[in-house]
Amino acid sequence: MGGAEGEVKHEELVIVGAGICGLATALALHRKGIRSIVLERSESLRSSGVAIGILPNGWRALHQLNVASILRQTASPILGIKDIWLHKNKQQDMPFISGEARCLKRSDLIDTLYNALPPDTVKFGHQIISVKLDPQTNYPMVQLEDGSFIAAKVLIGCDGAKSTVADFLELKPTKLFDLCAIRGLTNYPNGHPFAHEFVRMRRDNVSVGRTPIDSKLVYWYVAHPRMQADNIASVDTELIRQYTTNLVHGFPKEIVEMVRNGDLDALCSTRIRYRAPWDLLLGNFRKGTVTVAGDAMHVMGPFLGQGGSAGLEDSIVLARSLARTMSTTPTDPTIVIEALDRYVKERRMRIVQLSTQTYLTGLLITESTSLLVKFACIVLMFILFRNAIGQTKYDCGTL
């Protein structure tokens, strides 16, 4: 835990949040010889959760972090994409991604990033409640729940969609799609029968996605319009399973059994949040020597499978920008501000493009979207994103 109330500790570089982006940013900085600490509110590593798809642009970032070879051992490659419309009796093989794509257990990714860091980088049980600027130095001051403070020369918020650091930057609040997603893992002790491809099935207003992680473990999700019952189901995993089993009634038998046999500990139900593309275009991502990365900066729907990969890209670009200055003049705030501005400038249009494509895709699959709006989305997608998988070709560069 933190220190005594009112006590002030001083650190060079502080990262808030030991999720994927927070750990990746700390590791990228470590690879560049810059020490940081990561403040994590939980008492232990939050390696729980479900799974995350990493597409070619994400693997390029993982290669720069020097952990790609380790993670390849934990997940099989995805070799194809298939869309199935059950109510129309229609099937379509989608254009496949050129490059590496795998679905990782979130815990494997978190554990691998954490184990690559120097000991004691992550400070557990440190929940921040506010950020302010020191009136004398203009450096950020983080107040912890126990009343103590940490003064940092650089503060990076990687604290997720409900980010305290983003609130300090006065970013617009995240918005909600009228969609819920239930995610789960199912283990097949004798091996599953599925091909190593991402399969998406639709029936009426329910969508089921399925991707094998390895020869025995399968990740799946069920997306559906939000209903009042979701508030009840979201707090009890047994209720989530019952509710999800009802949602997939009428789907093929193997889908129903996959949901029914899912690991209760991995089940979760969430509303889908996003930052609006226009807020990302106009938002202020730096104040003093404070910035954000990952979901704190650009949380987006899961429709393109790019949220995690975009956060990994952030970590590389941010560490590269800071390393140009902090290794030589770590105490000059003007130089640090210039580095953070370079990072924001490099990332802004990339995340605006990603979030716009994700936003338009989300509107298209949301039941409550009017036909006129859907038509406008189709036109914009055709004009702006004729190559639906073009975002996976992005290369964030070297550390």
234 falls in which pLDDT band (50, 70, 90)? Answer: low
Say yes or no to pLDDT of 329 above 70.
Answer: no
pLDDT digits (tens, 9 = 90+) for 94-120: 666 678 999 999 999 999 999 999 999
Considering the chain, tell me which residue range(s) the CATH 3.50.50.60 domain(s) occupy.
8-83+106-174+275-393
Tens digit of each residue's pLDDT (9 = 90 or more) over 50-61 = 999 999 999 999
Amino acid at 92: Q
How deeply is 234 buried, as exposed, middle or buried, from its count of CB atoms within 10 A (0-12, 13-18, 19+)?
middle
pLDDT at 11 exceeding the cut of 50: yes
Q: Please state the φ and ψ torsions of residue 187, each to the nearest 5 degrees.
A: -100, 135
pLDDT for residue 91: 79
The verdict on domain 176-274 having CATH code 1.10.10.10 is no
- Per-residue pLDDT band at 233 (split at 50, 70, 90): low
CATH 3.30.9.30 residue ranges of the chain are 176-274
Pair 13, 35: CB distance under 8 Å: yes
Residues 218-227: tens digit of each pLDDT:
999 999 988 7
Fold of 8-83+106-174+275-393: FAD/NAD(P)-binding domain (3.50.50)
Burial annotation 6-34 (CB, 10 A radius, 16+ → b, else e): eeeeebebbbbbbbbbbbbbbbbbbbeeb
Mean pLDDT, the chain, as a whole number? 92
pLDDT band at 127 (very low <50, low <70, confident <90, very high): very high
The pLDDT score that the predictor gives to residue 1 is 46
Stretch among 68-77, 315-324, 385-394 having the lowest mean pLDDT: 385-394
What percentage of the chain reaches a pLDDT higher than 70? 94
pLDDT at 229 over 70: no
Q: What's the pLDDT score for residue 137?
A: 86
Q: Is the pLDDT of residue 336 over 50?
A: yes
Residue in 290, 27, 285 with CA at minimum distance from that of residue 153: 290
User: What mean pLDDT comes out for the span 126-134?
Assistant: 95
Give the 3-state secondary structure of residue 316.
Answer: helix
Residue 319's nearest CA partner among 31, 12, 93, 45 is: 31
